[in-house]
Amino acid sequence: MNVIIPTQESQMGHIIEKVRHGQRLTLEDGVFLYQSEDLLTIGQLANEVALRKNGKKVYFIENMSLYFTNVCEAHCAFCNFRRDEGAPGAYTLSGEQMIEYVEQHIHPGVREFHIVGGHNTNVPFQYYVDSLKALKEKYPDVTLKAYTAAEIDFFSRISGLSYKEVLEELMKAGLQSLTGGGAEILSDHYRKKMRVDKADVSQYLDVHRTAHQLGLRTHTTMLYGSIETKEDRIKHLMQIRELQDETNGFLVFIPLSMQPINPKAGIRRRNSAFEDLKTIAISRLMLDNFQHIKAYFINIGVQLTQVALTMGASDAHGTIVKEKISHAAGALTPEGITREDLIWLIKGAGRIPVERDTFYNEIKIYE
């Protein structure tokens, strides 16, 4: 009996066969892909999956990022956005103040407010409810995609309400979807090491599970590029894949490339373009039950985003207007982008730009 020792080529060939026949990739498959240097094969395979799911369509939205407060009880090692109450730069806006900010910066066509912020213990849960209510009353036609799962867990702690009760209160105020942040890496070891003193792995997943049970479609992320192993990343993807099997409530997965705290940090302190593209492609291959993988230009830049559209990404995010969290952490990218530039970027990758709403309903196709 001949014993055949698997080679890199035979293992990659096996993965290609599995993907093309719709078979689910394993932890071992995902780790192998991360260890492989064959980015072009991985990217080409991810591109096949993206084309199979969405054709040549790449989605974007006219949206605007809002941050009611940067005061936060958590001290996550990677965050440069948070402030202590009373510290220089700390702020907490009322609904009226936020509306004033929006009126100064909003542009015609904005369909979504993307709202996140700090875990501010100096205001009650009702403050967060009223914040949404004020926006919904002023801008009834704009979708409120608000708060992370970690924020929902925080609201539960300060209010004494269950996740379900917190979400129901926010939905009455106008909440229509949850943002994906707060996931970081879904590993308790990682969270302890990186001082992620907010919702743990099971709590993050349970908030999204509860939201899906209430009929909310939500977003989910992975913040990669610090102390986690490649196996940690694949296990993260498998945990959200498992929840998606259960609820089918996630709209999109967003890989977030870690930013250094200092904007002047050199390239050795940043993820490489190779690593960013590989992560997007592997995400597309592992998350067979997700319709979309997003290329987030805020973290990887607009030109790499364009390349990512040929390596598994089918969403180029949105106009944003003025992003603050990644830029506080040292991002060198634009704080926002115009609709025209997004259309140009998508067409330049040989794709068809599709303007969407929060829920991926198509608004306009730019042939």
Residue numbers belonging to the annotated binding site for S-adenosyl-L-methionine? 78, 184, 195
Query: Which residues carry a binding-site annotation for [4Fe-4S] cluster?
Result: 72, 76, 79
Does the CA dihedral 241-243-246-250 come out positive or negative? Answer: negative
d(CA 194, CA 342) in angstroms, rounded, equals 34
The answer for residues whose C-beta is within 8 angstroms of residue 352's C-beta and 6 or more apart is 55, 56, 57, 58, 346, 365, 366, 367
Query: Which residues carry a binding-site annotation?
Result: 72, 76, 78-79, 184, 195
Task: Return the SS3 of 244.
Answer: helix
Task: Return the SS3 of 274.
Answer: helix
The answer for residues whose C-beta is within 8 angstroms of residue 84's C-beta and 6 or more apart is 71, 90
Q: Where are the beta strands (DSSP E) in 187-336?
A: 218-224, 250-257, 292-293, 315-318
Amino acid at site 346: I
d(CA 237, CA 24) in angstroms, rounded, equals 12
